[in-house]
Amino acid sequence: MGIFHPKGIVVPHPIQSICTRWGSDPLSYGSYSHVSVHSSGDDYDILAENVGNRLFFAGEATSRQYPATMHGAFLSGLREASRIYRSSRLQNSTKKYGPKNIGPNHDILVELFKRPDFECGKFAFIFYSSSESLPSMGLLQVTFGDSEESHEELLYNYQNSIKWPLQLYTVLSREQAQQLQLVEGGDESRLSFLVKSLGLKLMGPSALFSAGNTLVANIAYSRKGRGRNRLITC
């Protein structure tokens, strides 16, 4: 207030002010923002992922360029406002645009996972190399929801992919995929092993392309013209 008054700018007194006790709060101890150990810029991208163009996230923890700052919080709000506006325009113009999916990145993943190398419950795997080399890299898709349908049944029953259950992805090696196959106890146990034991992070299509764009492109290129491969299930 003091720096603006000499310039002729009147700043009114606040109606109410509250002093928080960050320093004594056992959940913060004075910290304004928190990032876990070993986090990277990819974590901010993951937190900024929307859910099916229906649920959007903004805030300082979603800004890779300006994390834990008021600038990041402000700019992330503008970013999500533009995304919400763009999404609402598409939804209100179904006759002209007829949304069939949630974006070009999702298009590519839908095509790739039409022919997974193998499935294990709601876990679907595809790999760049057809060799059995353990270090060879690939992609994992995890489908969330109560549906017991296989990936092929989802493609048949939900022609409009925007209505699909939530699907998240990660990059992993063939060795890690084999370890997941051996986990007993169903999908919940596999998901717990994926995060806690393998230390992998699930992400949406946009974050996946940011983290593994070259791998996705290589897999897509290598599968062009290939016939339907034999699906292996566990």
Summarize pLDDT for 79-100 with one digit per residue, the tens. Answer: 999 999 888 887 665 444 444 4
Q: How far is CA 154 from CA 47, 150, 175, 191, 230, in A?
A: 26, 6, 27, 20, 18
Domain parsing of the chain, residue ranges = 5-91, 104-226
Q: Regarding predicted confidence, which is higher, 154 or 103?
A: 154
Residue matched to tokens 């720096």: 3
Per the rule left: phi > 0, alpha: psi between -120 and 50, beta: everything else, 33 is beta
Question: What predicted TM-score, i.e. pTM, was given to this entire model?
Answer: 0.60
Mean pLDDT of the chain: 80
Q: Say yes or no to pLDDT of 49 above 60.
A: yes
Query: pLDDT-derived band of residue 74, with 50, 70 and 90 as boundaries?
Result: very high
d(CA 86, CA 91): 9
Q: Say yes or no to pLDDT of 173 above 80.
A: yes
Q: Regarding predicted confidence, which is higher, 181 or 232?
A: 181
